[in-house]
């Protein structure tokens, strides 16, 4: 069992269990081009999350289901390693990973110029090597970098971040503990140039005012993370 | 995968851009809704819901089981959905695909996060025995907007559910099928789904609209106006204004929907 | 547990648990054309059974297994809803439903003019929404109506009914209790015009004389049900 | 799916309409049958059966398990069949298809409904512990009429089965592998299968006959002449007269078949 | 439980549990052409092992995975009957049978003139009807005979036999008990004309000297078994 | 299935026949190896291994479970491998194929048969409760010679593993997550893999070499030089001399590899 001692004297902006301000992100690190075989790849550490993404394509597919006459098809697979969570996870897809794969593909799709590659398949493989809250957002953020690393033409680089409600406060980027014990979790992905929202889910209880505040906060978080994405690509490819 | 002819797509989009719809509804108007409960005697709770021609039967069953290790003192709700091949020519027999899984999971979240069912009252022996309530969504006819129908049907079925009274007598659980009790229900929640087509967001998309939507937004809301679940779908982004506007409409429309509940 | 009190004074034709005469059917109701998307459909209530059938086709199939060079192929799927029986049934096919799907397809096939549609596929989906004994016969009866509703050309409209042996008596149309506690169950389907038998199974113990009596009784039941099928179509399409 | 040339179909049908068969048998005559028991030492009962060139090995295994909730005081028989890809060029590896499932289930019904095995004697502790007998049909070579071979082999394997003596000693189950006992067998049952080809019903269809049959009828019958299982197959109807005639032949032929049993 | 009493007085060459000399094979019997439908088949009894093998092909395959542009593809399926072992085995492939299927295909492949049949499929189905140690070797040995019986052109007839270490002694052809209680098991397959090794696995602990001795012993065993293979074919087809 | 152009095949083969390799290594030389342990905090033991660009993360997890009936007093090691679709363009999502199963089983045999982990010390209650150690091989990048990388990574992860102290207090198992202990490790073992190309055997085949190899030989060896696992692969035979020579090289190379272990 994990026993977490919270001091009563923590007040105001520093009231979170790990001492972060309400609008403070966990430490974030992104590296592009980390795999040999994949056409593009990225590795991301975000708090205790460790995520690896590989992209293959655009490539020919022999499978009818993965063909569209007028554009490329995105197949996305979000997967957790058996050792990524406290209790060993059985290998293979489950209902949660199926849903995350679907919304992740939908979150990334608006940014990709799919119509350039009719009938082609683009594979996005997201591996959660270690999970500590917020893996779906971290996966989307890393996937965009891997897509760019693969040279897939994009309008913008989608970026994701969650906000939520913990101890009656709207906070940014929930940790695993905050996610479990909090009152709401709201993952958001945006295209940072237009600010448009490509992923939005909500789980928990928020009134309209709190909801709006949470969306705003998550979008701010996304904008901050977007810079780290760009730095990762600059580091690999130069300015 | 249905390919919609470009001409159809354009004509519906033009209509909606002019604030009209193919079936003459207002943009924020539901199709005809019908809801019956208690339609399946062998289920512990059941409902048949129709929105337009979309039709779902929802059945509930209770079963004693073990709680999840991290929540030892609360009962369990399991929501399962079958997009039956009967419901649409493009549905095939087989295990649930991601569309079906999303439908079940969003329905589940709307019910769970609204805390509609007081799950602590479904615990018999902490850490050992709790009631598990299975909600099965049986999709019979697919004419668009399954999300709202699924939540409406599931909530109605839960309100209709009667489970046997279980008591502890000398360390033994006695289940009394002669005395059935309703579930411990608190504040209810329902769901409103919008489709973005052209420049507009329309409520309760029909099949024809769903086939050409660019984005989908489903909002689950409690009677007191709290958002308990929300799911964006589709391959096009939404602006914050579009989303906040949908939230506003949902506040009003959930109230309307609540009136169908038994 | 279900306790059923049977009075000893019940005698003769009225000796069945639910008070029916030995040759009496349970209340039956059939409605054609109940679904929007399906090409044809029918809803049937028979005693406590509630059955819904949808038919799609004849349509093109891309799956080799479902193609025949000289005729249409019938794919039949008998499925029970999880809430249709006392203990929740796990979704998905099991051995029982696989066998029933097979014999149902064989029971219906003789009536359909398959040779009119070489290489085509006809899908028959039977959903048992509530089960109370005799679902396979009810499914066949409803499927014929759905096939007619879909405009599939047929020589005749197959109809099914079970007979059996309960308390040493040959009776028509076993209820769930009679099926469980009885000595034999004999589902029969016929083409009512010719009286030919397209489905015949037997489960339990019958001597040759009892068997013949049971077949005759089931055929009589079929003929009666056939009228209800026709009424359902007349009601939908006029005389 | 085998496509039989029209000329083959016609020539066999013509023969049979003239009351002859491709292999010169009478219409109601079995092919050569051979039956050995005790062929697999590690099985608790086993049999190898051949009808013509159709060949099946049947093995039984016992295991202690829980009874079904609605029949707490009787043992359980589970019949499983594998149409091995070895047995015919058209069989593919994979989970049992509907043909294989039908074979197992009809065999199972014939054995269960004949009440051949006194299942009440296989109950050790009511509601808790009963013997489960697994019957595995391993189809090695498919030359037509698997049904009759499967039932013959399964019955022979059951007659050959020896399970360890189990007794209750101070609330503990003691299983004595040194003392094995036969199963409690009562009246036996076997099965006869007919194929309708042209205007006739022929007994024990060979592969060539099976490929062109229009209907199939399998009748399970006990020693005393009771029909305990019956299954029609195939896409053509049968008349009541055809069925009653088959029942009559079965009465005579089951007796013949019984003589092969150990 | 199986209690095996071993006498302490057993010494030297006769020290094995079943009284065999260290280099002594169990009784072996092979019969070719035992099935009607298969293109080739063989039945083998080896100690308590009973193995049946069927071969189909070379034949056309519609499955892309089973096609090679320049040669025939070998599909091998090693399968144990549920009743072949002490505790009933659940039907269907498991990890062990998948590995054995793979190494068996690789063991047989070098002997077959695959380039004669581009794009064709050769199916080898190995059924273990009863298992008593050494089934993979027995399966390979029987499969060669079945391939020959099917008329598949081969350079040589692969033959397999295991050796191992039991009670600190290198011995030939481990029985089930020796396999379980022994220190090492070493299955070997060879092409007897050249003596080249087509299967080699090892499981247990052997130093280099013991390993070499075990390989030599297994090869000797193979050569002896090879004669029984040839006799089986002679018996069926004449000299 | 990758088809390698004939010209590539020939040029690599010619090089190797001249005792050279595409990447200029000696025939018995490993590519660059890197090994880190403790890379996954939530795993009980973990390692990231790279040989050339092949990359594997190995994680271990412990769990209390029942021993196998025939070995009631020893713990259990379960090795599982996923050839992730991320690792190579030809890998597809889905259950483990035979290549993946072979990798896991050979790794497992090397660890089990070397008796590296003293499994008897992982038994808590004979016949009832033992530690089960899951080793998960997560293949991230496939650049040839997964076998040696898998074994090296698995052994490193086992050395890195800390499981909670479990003790019996009054017939109850108390698991103390505050006090974690290393596994009881004895003599270690590692694996060397050779590819036969042309007339030569080369150590640690790269992807380009693996794609054209005619035979593969993997040898697991303990520190004291005992062969604890061996697996031949590929469709071409090997001579005894080739095998014995590989054993000799392995004796030397395992020592080198051991130095990478923590």
Name the interface residues of E facing D (CB cutoff 8 Å).
1, 35-38, 41, 48, 50, 52-54, 56, 59, 77, 79, 81-88, 91-93, 123, 125, 127, 129-132
Phi, then psi, of D248 in degrees rounded to 5: -60, -45
Chain F residue with Cα closest to E186: F230
> Rounded to an integer, what distance in angstroms lies between the CA atom of residue F251 and that of residue A116?
55
Residue A62 burial by CB count (10 A; 0-12/13-18/19+): exposed, middle or buried? Answer: exposed
pLDDT in tens, C119-149: 999 999 999 999 999 999 999 999 999 999 9
Which region holds residue C44: left if phi is over 0, alpha if psi is between -120 and 50, else beta?
A: beta
- Name which of C102, C110, C219 is nearest D236 (Cβ-Cβ): C110
Whether the pTM exceeds 0.90: the reply is yes
pLDDT in tens, C60-86: 988 888 999 899 999 999 999 999 999
- Name which of F70, F226, F244 is nearest E206 (Cβ-Cβ): F226
User: What local confidence, expressed as pLDDT, does residue B2 receive?
Assistant: 60
Q: Could you tell me which of F54, F37, F30, F42 has the C-alpha nearest to residue F261?
A: F37
User: What local confidence, expressed as pLDDT, does residue D5 receive?
Assistant: 86
* Helix pair C95-108, C135-149: axis angle to 10 deg: 50
pLDDT in tens, A192-233: 999 999 999 999 999 999 999 999 999 999 999 999 999 999
Considering the domain boundaries, does residue D1 fall inside one?
no
CB C157 within 8 A of CB C177: no
The total domain count for chain D is 1
Chain F nearest C-alpha distance from A174 (Å): 18
> Rounded to an integer, what distance in angstroms lies between the CA atom of residue F87 and that of residue A54?
8
User: What local confidence, expressed as pLDDT, does residue D222 receive?
Assistant: 98
Question: Which residues in chain D have Cβ-Cβ distances shorter than 8 Å to C65?
Answer: 1
pLDDT in tens, A150-200: 999 999 999 999 999 999 999 999 999 999 999 999 999 999 999 999 999
**Contact present, C and D (at least 3 Cβ pairs less than 8 Å):** yes
Question: Which residues in chain D have Cβ-Cβ distances shorter than 8 Å to C70?
Answer: none
CB E62 within 8 A of CB E120: no
User: What local confidence, expressed as pLDDT, does residue A65 receive?
Assistant: 87
User: What local confidence, expressed as pLDDT, does residue A188 receive?
Assistant: 98
User: What local confidence, expressed as pLDDT, does residue A182 receive?
Assistant: 94
Q: Which subunits sit against D, judged by 3+ Cβ pairs under 8 A?
A: C, E
CB B206 within 8 A of CB B52: yes
User: What local confidence, expressed as pLDDT, does residue D168 receive?
Assistant: 82
> Rounded to an integer, what distance in angstroms lies between the CA atom of residue F111 and that of residue F151?
8
Q: Which subunits sit against B, judged by 3+ Cβ pairs under 8 A?
A: A, C
Q: Where are the beta strands (DSSP E) in chain B?
A: 33-37, 45-51, 54-65, 76-83, 123-125, 129-141, 162-169, 172-182, 189-197, 200-203, 215-222, 227-233
Interface with B, mutate which of C44, C83, C101 (most B CBs under 10 A) = C83
Q: Which two tokens stand for residue E161?
A: 């036999």
pLDDT class of E61 with cuts at 50, 70, 90? confident
Q: Is the pLDDT of residue C3 over 50?
A: no
Q: Is the pLDDT of residue B45 over 50?
A: yes
- What is the domain range of residue B119? 6-258
- Which DSSP string do the residues of B109-166 spell out, in sequence order? HHHHHTT-B-GGGGEEETTTEEEEEEEEEEEEE--S-HHHHHHHHHHHHHHH-EEEEE
Q: Please give the domain boundaries of chain A with CATH numbers for all domains.
A: 3-237 (3.30.230.70)
Chain B nearest C-alpha distance from A213 (Å): 11
Name the interface residues of D facing C (CB cutoff 8 Å).
1, 3, 70, 96, 98-99, 101-102, 104-105, 109, 113-115, 217, 222, 225-240, 243-244, 247-248, 251
Considering the domain boundaries, does residue F247 fall inside one?
yes
pLDDT class of C14 with cuts at 50, 70, 90? low
Q: What is the DSSP letter of A230?
A: H
pLDDT in tens, D37-88: 999 999 999 999 999 999 999 999 999 999 998 899 999 999 999 999 999 9
Pairing of strands E196-206, F45-51: unpaired
Interface with D, mutate which of C105, C201, C215 (most D CBs under 10 A) = C201
Residue F168 burial by CB count (10 A; 0-12/13-18/19+): exposed, middle or buried? Answer: exposed
Considering the domain boundaries, does residue F97 fall inside one?
yes
| Helix runs in F18-145, H state only | 98-113
ipTM: 0.94
pLDDT in tens, E140-176: 999 999 999 999 999 999 999 999 999 999 999 999 9
Question: Which residues in chain C have Cβ-Cβ distances shorter than 8 Å to D248?
Answer: 208
Q: Is the pLDDT of residue E10 over 70?
A: no
CB E226 within 8 A of CB E160: no
Considering the domain boundaries, does residue D10 fall inside one?
yes
> Rounded to an integer, what distance in angstroms lies between the CA atom of residue E185 and that of residue E201?
8
Hey, is C83 helix, strand or coil? coil
pLDDT class of B177 with cuts at 50, 70, 90? confident
CATH number at residue D137: 3.30.230.70
- What percent of chain B has a predicted confidence (pLDDT) above 70? 99
User: What local confidence, expressed as pLDDT, does residue E75 receive?
Assistant: 97
Q: Is the pLDDT of residue E62 over 50?
A: yes
- Predicted confidence pLDDT, tens digits, chain D (262 residues): 567 888 999 999 999 999 999 999 999 999 999 999 999 999 999 999 999 999 999 999 999 999 998 899 999 999 999 999 999 999 999 999 999 999 999 999 999 999 999 999 999 999 999 999 999 999 999 999 999 999 999 999 999 999 999 888 887 888 888 899 999 999 999 999 999 999 999 999 999 999 999 999 999 999 999 999 999 999 999 999 999 999 999 999 999 999 999 9
User: What local confidence, expressed as pLDDT, does residue A14 receive?
Assistant: 52
> Rounded to an integer, what distance in angstroms lies between the CA atom of residue B135 and that of residue B128?
22
- Average of pLDDT values for E106-132? 97
Q: Could you tell me which of A220, A209, A159 has the C-alpha nearest to residue A184?
A: A209
- The C-alpha R_g of chain D, in whole angstroms, comes to 20
User: What local confidence, expressed as pLDDT, does residue E14 receive?
Assistant: 53
Chain F nearest C-alpha distance from E36 (Å): 30
Chain A nearest C-alpha distance from B185 (Å): 17
- Predicted confidence pLDDT, tens digits, chain F (262 residues): 567 888 999 999 999 999 999 999 999 999 999 999 999 999 999 999 999 999 999 999 999 999 998 899 999 999 999 999 999 999 999 999 999 999 999 999 999 999 999 999 999 999 999 999 999 999 999 999 999 999 999 999 999 999 999 888 887 888 888 899 999 999 999 999 999 999 999 999 999 999 999 999 999 999 999 999 999 999 999 999 999 999 999 999 999 999 999 9
Question: Which residues in chain B have Cβ-Cβ distances shorter than 8 Å to C132?
Answer: 42
Asked whether the bond before E58 is cis by omega within 30 degrees of 0, the reply is: yes
Chain F residue with Cα closest to A58: F89
Interface with F, mutate which of E4, E61, E64, E98 (most F CBs under 10 A) = E98
Chain F nearest C-alpha distance from A34 (Å): 10
Asked whether the bond before C58 is cis by omega within 30 degrees of 0, the reply is: yes
Q: Could you tell me which of E70, E79, E76 has the C-alpha nearest to residue E144?
A: E76
Q: What is the DSSP letter of D122?
A: G
Residue E2 or E8, more confident: E8
Considering the domain boundaries, does residue F177 fall inside one?
yes
Considering the domain boundaries, does residue F1 fall inside one?
no
Q: Could you tell me which of F36, F20, F41, F7 has the C-alpha nearest to residue F200?
A: F20
> Rounded to an integer, what distance in angstroms lies between the CA atom of residue B201 and that of residue B216?
9
**Contact present, B and F (at least 3 Cβ pairs less than 8 Å):** no
Q: Is the pLDDT of residue A9 over 60?
A: no
Question: Which residues in chain B have Cβ-Cβ distances shorter than 8 Å to A219?
Answer: 240
Question: Which residues in chain A have Cβ-Cβ distances shorter than 8 Å to F63?
Answer: 88
Question: Which residues in chain C have Cβ-Cβ distances shorter than 8 Å to D236?
Answer: 110
Q: Is the pLDDT of residue B1 over 90?
A: no
> Rounded to an integer, what distance in angstroms lies between the CA atom of residue A99 and that of residue E80?
38
- Greatest mean pLDDT range, A59-63, B100-104, D63-67: B100-104
The answer to whether the Cβ–Cβ distance between E83 and D141 falls below 8 Å is no
All residues at 6 or more sequence positions from E87 whose CB lies less than 8 Å from its CB, including other chains: D61
Distances (CA, A) of A139 to A54, A158, A184, D70: 11, 11, 20, 50
CB D120 within 8 A of CB D73: yes
User: What local confidence, expressed as pLDDT, does residue E12 receive?
Assistant: 47
Considering the domain boundaries, does residue B123 fall inside one?
yes
The answer to whether the Cβ–Cβ distance between E81 and D41 falls below 8 Å is no
Residue B120 burial by CB count (10 A; 0-12/13-18/19+): exposed, middle or buried? Answer: middle
Question: Which residues in chain D have Cβ-Cβ distances shorter than 8 Å to E43?
Answer: none
**Contact present, D and E (at least 3 Cβ pairs less than 8 Å):** yes
CB F147 within 8 A of CB F136: no
- Name which of F57, F63, F93 is nearest A129 (Cβ-Cβ): F57
User: What local confidence, expressed as pLDDT, does residue E4 receive?
Assistant: 33
Longest dimension (CA), chain C: 62
Q: Where are the beta strands (DSSP E) in chain E?
A: 28-32, 40-46, 49-60, 73-80, 120-130, 159-166, 169-172, 184-191, 196-206
Chain E residue with Cα closest to D133: E88
Asked whether the bond before A58 is cis by omega within 30 degrees of 0, the reply is: yes
């Amino acid at each position: 069992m994990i026993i977490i001692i919270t001091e009563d004297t923590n007040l105001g902006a520093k009231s979170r269990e790990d001492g972060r301000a309400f609008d403070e992100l966990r430490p974030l690190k992104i590296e592009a081009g980390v795999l040999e075989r994949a056409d593009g790849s990225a590795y991301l550490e975000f708090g205790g999350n460790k995520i690896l993404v590989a992209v293959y394509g655009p490539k020919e597919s022999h499978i009818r289901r993965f063909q569209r006459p007028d554009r490329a098809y995105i197949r996305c697979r979000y997967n957790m390693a058996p050792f990524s969570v406290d209790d060993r996870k059985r290998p293979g897809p489950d209902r949660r990973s199926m849903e995350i794969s679907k919304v992740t593909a939908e979150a990334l799709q608006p940014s990709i110029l799919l119509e350039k590659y009719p009938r082609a398949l683009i594979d996005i493989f997201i591996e959660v090597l270690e999970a500590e809250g917020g893996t779906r957002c971290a996966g989307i953020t890393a996937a965009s970098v891997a897509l760019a690393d693969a040279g897939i033409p994009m309008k913008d680089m989608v970026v994701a971040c969650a906000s939520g409600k913990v101890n009656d406060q709207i906070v940014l980027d929930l940790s695993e503990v905050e996610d479990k014990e909090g009152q709401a979790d709201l993952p958001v992905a945006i295209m940072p140039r237009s600010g448009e929202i490509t992923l939005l889910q909500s789980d928990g209880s928020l009134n309209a005012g709190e909801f709006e505040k949470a969306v705003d906060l998550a979008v701010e978080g996304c904008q901050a993370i977007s810079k780290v994405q760009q730095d990762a690509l600059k580091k690999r490819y130069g300015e | 995968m249905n390919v919609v002819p470009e001409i159809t797509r354009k004509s519906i989009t033009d209509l909606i851009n002019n604030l009209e719809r193919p079936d003459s509804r207002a943009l924020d108007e539901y199709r005809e809704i019908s809801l019956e409960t208690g339609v399946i005697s062998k289920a512990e709770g059941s409902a048949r819901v129709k929105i337009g021609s979309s039709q779902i039967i929802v059945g509930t069953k209770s079963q004693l089981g073990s709680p999840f290790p991290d929540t030892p003192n609360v009962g369990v709700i399991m929501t399962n959905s079958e997009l039956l091949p009967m419901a649409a020519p493009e549905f095939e027999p087989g295990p649930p695909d991601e569309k079906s899984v999303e439908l079940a999971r969003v329905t589940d979240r709307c019910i769970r996060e609204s805390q509609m069912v007081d799950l602590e009252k479904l615990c018999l022996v902490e850490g050992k025995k709790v009631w598990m309530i299975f909600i099965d969504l049986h999709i019979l006819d697919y004419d668009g907007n399954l999300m709202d129908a699924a939540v409406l049907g599931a909530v109605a079925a839960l309100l209709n559910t009667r489970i046997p009274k279980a008591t502890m007598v000398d360390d033994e659980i006695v289940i009394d099928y002669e005395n059935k009790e309703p579930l411990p229900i608190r504040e209810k929640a329902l769901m409103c789904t919008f489709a973005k087509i052209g420049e507009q967001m329309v409520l309760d998309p029909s099949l024809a609209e769903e086939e050409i939507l660019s984005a989908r937004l489903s909002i689950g809301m409690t009677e007191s106006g709290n958002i308990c679940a929300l799911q964006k779908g589709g391959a096009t982004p939404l602006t914050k204004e579009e989303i906040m506007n949908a939230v506003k409409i949902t506040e009003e429309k959930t109230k309307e929907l609540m009136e169908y509940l038994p």
